[in-house]
Amino acid sequence: MEFKHVSVLKDESISGLNIHPDGIYVDCTTGGGGHSLEIAKRLNNGKLICIDKDVDALSFAKTRLKDYEDKIIFVNDNFLNIDKILDNLNIDLVDGILADLGVSSYQLDNGERGFSFKQDARLDMRMNQNQTLDAEYVVNNYSETELSKILYLYGEEKNSRQIARKIVKQREKSPIKTTFQLRDIIISSYPPKFQNKPSLCNKAFQAIRIEVNNELQDLELAIEKMLQKLKKCGRLCIITFHPLEDRIVKSTFKLHATDCICPPRIPKCVCNHKADIRLVTRHPIVPSDVELKNNSRAASAKLRIAEKL
C-alpha cells in the first residue's frame, strides 16, 4: 500500500519555525515527510533530523526526500528519546523542533495495521511495530474498570462503561481478535436508534490507540526534553488532534512562559522560577476553511508555538 498522508497546518507550522538556512531542525514525527520536505527546501548548510517510530513511514520519507539526503539524518525511534538521539549525533542544541501528533492517513487507511474500524484486520494499532503491547492485548486483558477508564479519558466516550462491560462479556466466550469484532461490540452497546451512525466507533478506537502507543503519558516529558534542546530564539511547534493533548501542550507552555509560580497567598516570591520561553501563539492556530475543505481529518488540529528565551 502506498504511503499517503496530507500534512496538516503545513504552511503555518513551517512559518512558525522561522527557519534559518544554516540552522539545525528536528521533525519529531516525520510520517510521510510533508513537513520535512518543506523544512529541507529552506536549508542551505543546515541539517534536518527526521524521527519516526514507524519504520514504514521512514522508508517512504527517505524516498520522498532523496533530493535532500545530504541535509537529512533519519532516525527510527520515539521522539520521547529526543535528548538521547541528539546526544548520539553530537548535537547539543537545535534551532527548531516540530511535532505533529496526528496518526498518518496511511496508518488509518492501511487495514493491516488495525487502526480503523472500516476495514477488518487483526487488532494491532501499534505505531512502533517492534513493541509488544498491541490493541488485542488491551482489549482481551485489561479489566473492565481499566477499559472503561481508558475509553472515557482518552476517547471522551460517554458510553464507556457499557462498552467495557460488553467487551468483557464477549471475551469470556472467545478472544476478540479483529477490528470488526470490536466494532460490532461497540455498536451493540448503543441503543438501536444510534447504531446506524458511521462515526460511532471513532472515540473508542482512538482511546485504545492512545493507550497502546502511550501517547499522552509520554507527551509532557517529551515537551520538557524538546524545550531543553532549543537554542536561544529556537522555536517549538506542536500540532495536536485531541483535547487532552492540547491541554498538556497548553499547560506545559504556560508553566515555562511564567516567572513566579508561587501560590497567590504568598506575598513575596520564594520559588525563583523564571520563564524560559515566550508564547508565540497565545491562542492555538487552527486549519483554514480551505484546508478543511480539502482534508476533513484536519478538523480537530491545533498548532501552538513557543520560542526559547
Answer yes or no: are the C-beta atoms of 98 and 237 closer than 8 Å.
Answer: yes
Report how far residue 159's alpha carbon sits from residue 100's, in angstroms, rounded to the nearest whole number.
29
Query: Across the strands, what pairs with 72?
Result: 48
Residue 54: what residue type? D
Question: Do 206 and 234 have their domain in common?
Answer: no
Range of the structural domain that residue 148 is part of:
129-212
Same-domain status, 50 and 189: no
Backbone angles phi, psi at 166, to 5 degrees: -65, -40
- Looking at the structure, do residues 64 and 149 belong to the same domain, yes or no? no
Q: Which carries the bigger pLDDT value, residue 214 or residue 44? A: 44
The C-alpha atoms of residue 287 and residue 301 are separated, in whole angstroms, by: 7
Condensed to tens digits (0 to 9), the pLDDT of residues 195-212 reads 877 678 889 999 999 999
Residues 99 and 20 in one domain: yes
3-state SS, residue 178? strand
Is residue 161 very low, low, confident or very high in pLDDT (cuts 50, 70, 90)?
very high
Q: Please say if the pLDDT value at position 63 is more than 90.
A: yes
- The answer, yes or no, to whether residue 261 has pLDDT greater than 90, is no
CATH of the domain at 146: 1.10.150.170
| Kind and range of the H or E run holding 245 | helix 243-256
At 71-80, the pLDDT tens digits run 999 999 999 9
- The verdict on 92 and 159 lying in the same domain is no
> In this structure, are 102 and 219 located in the same domain?
yes
Q: Is 120 part of a structural domain of the chain?
A: no
Q: What is the pTM of this model?
A: 0.82
CATH number at residue 102: 3.40.50.150
